[in-house]
Amino acid sequence: MRIEGFAHILVDPIAETLTGHFIQLEGNSRFTWGLKAEKSLQVPKLHECCTSMNLSPVFWNVTLFHYDNNKTFTFENIQQNVNLGDNISLTSEFDEWVVNSNLEKEKRDFFFDFIAETLKVDEDAKVHVKKYNLDPQNLLSNNNDILVVIGKMKVEKFYV
């Protein structure tokens, strides 16, 4: 399974979650997937030469769910590029020296890539969140620190 398109992601810095939509573009058709992510609790170990001295690496477990057919895919340990600040980019292709907790090289059966192209903040972000229903439970209504990132996304699951 390989899907490409664009995503808009609401960043909740307080709850440390990401929510949004992934719009799959296929020919003249569009399919919408829901997107939710929580910070990974069991992060891979990175080789010390591949990490920033000032910033700890951030990893997410990202779940995509198709609104029409209830398909769900979870992608574990997607790394956020912390060097970009609020302009979040996510990838599964972060380091060839990734090892799991048993110190074995981690083999992935997927590819995940989100490259942010637009960052919306303050009132622009609030308008976008309401327009596209990115916060259906209205959890962020009193939060003035709302960020929305919009960009291209590509996902490939090799063994479905």
pLDDT digits (tens, 9 = 90+) for 129-141: 889 888 766 666 6
Say which residue, 127 or 140, is predicted with more confidence.
127
Better-scored residue on pLDDT, 87 or 58: 58
**10: closest CA among 146, 153, 157, 156?**
146
Q: What one-character-per-residue DSSP string does 75-140 give?
A: EEEEEE-GGGTTS--EES-S-TT-B-TTS-BPP-SEEEEEEEEEEEEHHHHHHHHHHTTS-TT-TT
Report the pLDDT value the prediction gives residue 133, as an integer from 0 to 100.
86
Q: Quote the pLDDT of residue 107.
A: 62
For 153, the domain range is 2-157
Mean pLDDT of the chain: 82
Distance CA 47, CA 10 (A): 30
Contact 149, 87 (CB under 8 A): yes
Entry pTM: 0.83
Measured distance CA(61)–CA(78) in Å, rounded: 6
Please say whether the beta carbons of 1 and 157 come within 8 A.
yes
pLDDT for res 145? 76
**How many structural domains are present in the chain?**
1
